[in-house]
Structure 1
Amino acid sequence: MNIVIIKDGDAVTTTLAIAEGTLSDHASVIKLVRAYQADLEEFGLLDFKSESTGGRPTEYAFLNEPQSTLLLTYMRNSDVVRAFKKKLVREFWEMVQQRNKPAAAPALPQNYISALEHLLESKRSEHLAIEQRDRAIETKAEIGSRREATAMATASAAVRQVGQLKNELGRGLQQATVTAVEKVTKRKFGKQGFRPLKAWCASAGVQAPKVHDPRYGWVRSWPAAAWAAVYQIDLADLFGADGDHAR
């Protein structure tokens, strides 16, 4: 059974799935959610639902990835909870990978009429794009120098923020660099320690992104599933709810 689903365009799980996966009483799980609701809602508003199957209504909640990971850190650790953490991280990761796959190319027209309709639709889209471009140019010409300067300053700040966020990648729950894991675990994987991770990614068809490293320029950040499979390291356990230990 999949514990991660798509709801309103977002990948989420439920307290029901967490209770089943950790062999916990659901009443205890939802009580924990209520107790730490303020903490959990730092990562988005909680979505509570209630269902009745003929008896007393059952209240449950949908949680996104950071909310569910944080909730699990508040639960008592056990072999079952640790195994479920790994499965949860893996399913969120696989869901992101699946959603990032490029869409299939549209089928080519199979007959003359379809070809004409396809050409007409393409021309309409092209004409609409030209109109939108012209309106954008006209609107930009009307912007005053002060507003333009403010917009440029805002864009520059946004670029700096994006750069800072990119620098922080490779130290979290979904993926981590060898250096970050070595720093927290106090282990040394050696110069070739990345090779088993690379081999796992190649066999699983998973791309490990490059992240900035002040010493080497760019290094690979390996997915949580690879760390769990190769070195039995759970990034959720290692870095906690927000990856602070890896900084």
Structure 2
Amino acid sequence: MQVLSTTQNQALTMSSRLIAELTGKRHDNVMAVIRDLITADILTPEIQELDYMHRGNTYKHFLLNKRDSFVVVARLSPEFTAHLVDRWQELEQQLAPTFNLPQDLPTALRALADTHEQLQQVQLEREIAIKTKAHISDKKTATAMATASNAVQENTRLKDQLGQSKKNATVLAVERLTGHTYTWQPLNKWCKAHGVKPSKVHDSRYGKVNTYPSQAWMDVYNVDLSALFGGMACN
């Protein structure tokens, strides 16, 4: 099987079949990768798909120069680069006495390095885009949660200030919800007995009024502020 060819007017080339053999890939897969690289203008523009005969049948293959062979292997299996280098050196050494072939392996390796850098850059940009999108999504979620938490805290704070919460309540607030009438004196007496000073809250009619703790309401009037201001009706 001819895998390497040259003439005095043509540069040394390597068959796509040898590349498939070196990398352990199916030849049709290698051909597909080469066609994709040609379409992307990554390989030498002059590369052509040629016929070859095998056991009386005609098949297609590509003949690649050194640079293109390195680019293809970089796409197929970067770990087989060393095998490709060794194979090129072996074949060139065999043919060098006859054709006086130039040794420009550094140029080929530089092309391979450039290709690797391009592929890595594309992968890096993709990863950055994914992480940025995830970061934005997480930041929006965190902001929304913080806003909701702040709103709950502010609502609780305002209820405390108005004297109508699960922790404390004014006489007027409890009367509005229960429909019953309560006097403040027993609540105030409970606070004195327990060393508790009632808090003051603003009231539109009286300026400021006392707000009494939940335990005082429970002990004096058997009113459960948690049930009353937690959305449950009080009998």
TM-score (ref. length: structure 1) = 0.36
Higher-RCO chain (CA-CA 8 Å, sequence separation at least 6): 1
Work out which of the two has the higher radius of gyration on C-alpha atoms and give 1 or 2: 2
TM-score (ref. length: structure 2) = 0.38
